[in-house]
Structure 1
Amino acid sequence: MTDPTPRPSPNENHLLINAYSTHPDSPLLPVSRRITESGCNLVDARLSTVGRDVSVTALAMGSWDAIAKLEAMLTRLEREDSIKLIWYRTGEKEAQSDLLPYIVEVVAADKPGITFQLADFFDRQGISIESLHCTRYRAMQTGADMFSAQITIGVPASMHIAALRDDFLEFCDHLNLDAILDPMKF
């Protein structure tokens, strides 16, 4: 009996890499160099400075032997430089055409638990968080401690958007959060 599932191309092996270093040194250049030198392709990357550290999350793709070469290069990089690395083999994200991309923006006076409460709200609704960026800052005009979040969510196409928006805004009003939920326009 033949397996009806097509096998992935031998060049479609994936390695997820998380790299960390202390600002102002960034792990982007050494990690992307190793990806290139191993014969792999950098197909997705994120860089952010959080606290005193710079983090890079990168997805490399290549043949099985190129991924193995990259893993050996990362081992040497971690040993020889002041970069902390975590990596593992993974796969490509499956397309989810039944999810509609929406942007959520939240601003509020800072208090503990806001990120958890937002994540919990979307989890209870069956909505996936695709990306999240939140920060604490001091308002220039008043000096108040503020919280800001930008979240990309995947809303199931079968979900009633107006009802979701009403529930979300009521949730935010209860927590005294200023928020918007809009479709992603790009």
Structure 2
Amino acid sequence: MQNNLIVNALAENSNENIQKFSKLVKSSKCEVSECQLRVMGQFLSAIYLFSGPWEAIAKIEDNLNKLENEENITIQKKRTDVEKIKNNYVVYAIDIIGPDETNIIFDIIDLMLTNSLVIKSMSSNSYKHSETTTNMFELHTIVYISLDSSIAGVRSEFTEFCDQFNLDIIMEPLK
């Protein structure tokens, strides 16, 4: 039987910390089902979903406890089940870009949830445009849309919302 463990690690961004974590993972004999690494400021944030037999998951849990105690690394971990999305969904990518508005991401999340979209992944970035120095915002999201929903209706609501805030949107199915 396959067991799963989700791990969220936060450490100072250094090659040594990455190597320590990688060595620990390799020694556990777990499979990495999903992985996301991101540097923010001087910190590295790593999110992993490991899978493997019970013994391998138990070994990585023990090794993570040792690593957290010995190093300046914050680790959260939890065993989890991995659910498959049912067949009655289509997968869409939504990309939004435009002038940055305070907390606009939360308004977008509310719109997604109001339309019963299932958020699979989301990443955003704020920056100053290189030519105009305007504060800009970009968002990339993968969502599941129920086949019971009107995709044209969801697209229309998102387009109207983005027009209100002078944002560009691209919404297309993933193949």
Q: 1:91 to 1:27 in 2, by over 3 A?
A: farther
Runs ≥4 residues deviating over 4 A:
25-28
The answer to whether structure 1 residue 18 and structure 2 residue 33 are counterparts is no
The 10-residue stretch of structure 1 (118-127 or 108-117) with the greater mean CA deviation from structure 2: 108-117
Matching residue within 137, 151, 155 for 1:147: 137
Q: Deviations along 1:88-130, whole A, 9 cap, x unmatched?
A: 1111232322111111111121121111001000100100111
Matching residue within 97, 102, 105 for 2:87: 97
1:20-99 correspondence runs (5 A): 20-25=10-15, 27-99=17-89
In structure 2, what is the equivalent of residue 178 of structure 1?
Answer: 168
1:131-170 correspondence runs (5 A): 131-170=121-160
Cα pair 1:109 1:146 within 8 Å, conserved? yes
SS at match of 1:130: strand
Question: Could you tell me the TM-score, scaled by structure 1's length?
Answer: 0.87
Q: Distance in 2 between matches of 1:105 and 1:39?
A: 37
Q: Deviations along 1:63-106, whole A, 9 cap, x unmatched?
A: 21221111110011111122211101111232322111111111
Q: Distance in 2 between matches of 1:68 and 1:155?
A: 36
Q: Number of residue pairs matched?
A: 175
Pairwise CA distance, 1:27 = 4.9
The 10-residue stretch of structure 1 (117-126 or 83-92) with the greater mean CA deviation from structure 2: 83-92
SS at match of 1:134: strand
Pairwise CA distance, 1:41 = 1.6
Considering only aligned residues, what root-mean-square deviation do their CA atoms show, in Å? 1.6
SS at match of 1:162: helix
Cα pair 1:104 1:150 within 8 Å, conserved? yes
Q: Distance in 1 between matches of 2:145 and 2:24?
A: 37
Matching residue within 116, 119, 129 for 2:119: 129
Question: Could you tell me the TM-score, scaled by structure 2's length?
Answer: 0.92
Cα pair 1:19 1:86 within 8 Å, conserved? yes
Q: Deviations along 1:37-80, whole A, 9 cap, x unmatched?
A: 12222121111122332111111112212211111100111111
Matching residue within 116, 121, 125 for 2:106: 116
Pairwise CA distance, 1:151 = 0.8
The residue type equivalent to 1:70 in the other structure is I
The residue type equivalent to 1:83 in the other structure is I
Q: Distance in 1 between matches of 2:173 and 2:113?
A: 19
